[in-house]
Amino acid sequence: MSNLFDLSGKRAVVTGASSGLGVQMAKALAEHGADLALLARRKDKLEEVKSQIEQEYSRKVVSIECDVSSLDQVQRAVGVVKEELGGADILINNAGVGGIGEASQMSLEEWQKVIDVNLTGVFITAQQLGKLMIEQNYGKIINIASIFGHSANLAFPVVAYHATKGAVVNLTRALAAEWAKNKITVNAIGPGFFESEMTMSIKDNQEANAFIVGSNPMHRWGKEGELNGALILLASDASSFITGQTIYVDGGWTAV
């Protein structure tokens, strides 16, 4: 059974890999045997993560500066992935931005920025790496959605974020249906609130923290490593007959 979750010899691409959940997921993939291409806009942070993973897991790691909202940059990154790793078996579409702002006050520029990264960026990256996967007749794509792609909320004005993450859930279904014939599975993970450097300011806000803790049946935040089970399931051959699904890892937030 453990062989089902073995990623030895697999090549994984992780976007948004310079901090937060991206780093946690990259390390989980490396721990299970995958070589990695790490994509993000902050090259200095990427190099730090690359060094950590190489030292801890002795995997081959390539760091690539890339803004996923730019087709040119994504195409260049895919070229590096093909040259350095020989292809890609796994894509973790994790890059994203928040975009806090009242709907009535949000400018079109603010709206478009969130759309460009959270939705268009997910599509571009899946499209370009999907071409490699179609050629090899194999692939595992995991899009990172959110509990806020499932439901709205009363605490944070993030209308553009809601819109994009809801779209990612249905984009996942559409790609899964289209690429099933190519032996590519496309699934999504919808995280709740997880402890990371990106969310510390929210956790330190007493009112916001109370809302989060009170909104899921487990009455706590997600801890480091608690996404790994769903991630490795969907990245490995243990999920060979699972496609078009979104798994919410949220302490039960979306169940109530």
Residue 195 binned pLDDT confidence (cut-offs 50, 70, 90) = confident
Q: Please write the tens of the pLDDT for every residue from 205-222.
A: 999 999 999 999 999 999
Euclidean distance between CA atoms 3 and 15, whole angstroms? 26
Q: What is the DSSP string of the chain?
A: -GGGG--TT-EEEEESTTSHHHHHHHHHHHHTT-EEEEEES-HHHHHHHHHHHHHHH---EEEEE--TT-HHHHHHHHHHHHHHHSS-SEEEE-------B-TTT--HHHHHHHHIIIIIHHHHHHHHHHHHHHHHT-EEEEEE--GGGT---SS--BHHHHHHHHHHHHHHHHHHHHHGGGTEEEEEEEE--B-STTTHHHHTSHHHHHHHHHTSTT-SPBPTTTTHHHHHHHHSGGGTT--S-EEEESTTGGG-
* Mean pLDDT, rounded, for 169-189: 98
In the prediction, which pLDDT does 69 show?
98
Question: What residue has token string 């609130």?
Answer: 193
> Global pTM?
0.97
Whether pLDDT at 196 is above 90: no
Q: Enumerate domains of the chain plus CATH numbers.
A: 2-191+227-247 (3.40.50.720), 196-223 (no CATH)
Euclidean distance between CA atoms 154 and 202, whole angstroms? 15
In the prediction, which pLDDT does 253 show?
97
Residue 7 binned pLDDT confidence (cut-offs 50, 70, 90) = very high
Whether pLDDT at 256 is above 80: yes
In the prediction, which pLDDT does 200 show?
84
Catalytic residues, by residue number, are: 161
Q: Please write the tens of the pLDDT for every residue from 107-129.
A: 999 999 999 999 999 999 999 99
In the prediction, which pLDDT does 197 show?
73
